[in-house]
Amino acid sequence: MDLSNAEEQLMQLLWKQEKAIMKELIEAYPDPKPAVTTVATLLKRMQDKGFVGYTQLGRSREYFPKVSKKSYFSRQVNGMIKNFFNDSASQFASFFTQETDLSEEELKEIRKLIDERIKKN
């Protein structure tokens, strides 16, 4: 299950803070800050989707991510490869290297990472 853009923005704040109460999350937003009810609705939807949990602290709730940023990003990239590149990582790599403004140094660094991964396997 995916997150909407608004949910993903809130999730980014929660990943950065690791755990936070509602007030801390709202303060972390850039201006103009969303309404408390908006953030509460987003958190409820994200809980229902299994992305966020909370611990009750008196009358407040301390929210925390239940899904790591790395895990979410990995799932998103794999979904993009499947949906846009016919499940072909090589088609994705071809697009990525041709359609982005990577410098020669960045391309060499990517090649180095790939070579290291091949050696591991």
pLDDT by residue for the chain (121 residues), tens only, comes to: 789 999 999 999 999 999 999 999 999 999 999 999 999 999 999 999 999 999 999 999 999 999 999 999 999 989 889 999 999 988 988 888 888 888 989 999 989 999 999 998 8
Amino acid residing at 101: D
Round to whole Å and give the CA distance between 35 and 77: 31
Q: At CB < 8 A and 24+ separation, what contacts does 49-52 make?
A: 49/1, 49/3, 49/7, 50/1, 51/3, 51/7, 51/11, 52/11, 52/14
pLDDT at 98: 86
pLDDT at 100: 87
This model's pTM is above 0.85: no
pLDDT at 7: 96
Round to whole Å and give the CA distance between 55 and 8: 21
Amino acid residing at 11: M
pLDDT at 46: 97
